[in-house]
Amino acid sequence: MIDTTTSPPILFFDGVCNLCNGLVQFLLRHDKKKLFHFAALQSAAGKDAVQKMANEHKTAPDSVILLYKGTYYMRSTAGLHIFKLLGWPWKLLYAGIIAPRFLRDGIYNFISRNRYKWFGKRDACMVPTRDIMDRFL
């Protein structure tokens, strides 16, 4: 079980989605402080996060969930918080938070619905290499 109040930011991602895996690779390259940790939604920790979101919100995203300081973020809000946490210059993208959530999430949902068609799908979740293994749950 994850202590949600003291854990580092955890990105739960669709482990078979090429777009989601691309986001993880982007974060591994640009997260200079090694702040983020990761877990596939298909993992035990990921399934727990999905269940928690489903219980709280009657729905749960099937692409990305961010857990940060005891709060679960989903859809566009998760994405914007990820960029904020990445620091300069990426945190400038957090300015998008001023857009109404229904607009942000509308765009997010459109991309999410089409991500397999546009970016493809893997047969299995990625297996982290030894040098990044400690950042995966």
pLDDT in tens, the chain (137 residues): 555 566 799 999 998 999 999 999 999 999 989 999 999 999 999 898 888 888 887 777 788 999 999 999 999 999 999 999 999 999 999 999 999 999 999 999 999 999 999 999 987 776 777 778 888 88
The burial of 137, by beta-carbon neighbours within 10 Å (0-12 exposed, 13-18 middle, 19 or more buried), is given as middle
**Which pLDDT belongs to residue 56?**
81
**Which tokens sit at 120?**
């493809």
The rounded distance, in Å, linking the Cα atoms of 125 and 137 is 13
- Average pLDDT of the chain is 89
Q: Residues near 74 by Cβ (< 8 Å), separated by ≥ 6?
A: 53, 57, 60, 61, 64, 65, 66
The rounded distance, in Å, linking the Cα atoms of 38 and 20 is 11
Q: Is residue 41 within 8 Å of residue 14, measured between CB atoms?
A: yes
**Which pLDDT belongs to residue 2?**
55
Q: Is 49 left (phi over 0), alpha (psi -120 to 50) or beta?
A: alpha
Helices (H), the chain: 18-30, 44-57, 75-86, 101-119
Residue type, 114: N
pTM of the complete model:
0.88
Q: Is residue 104 within 8 Å of residue 76, measured between CB atoms?
A: yes
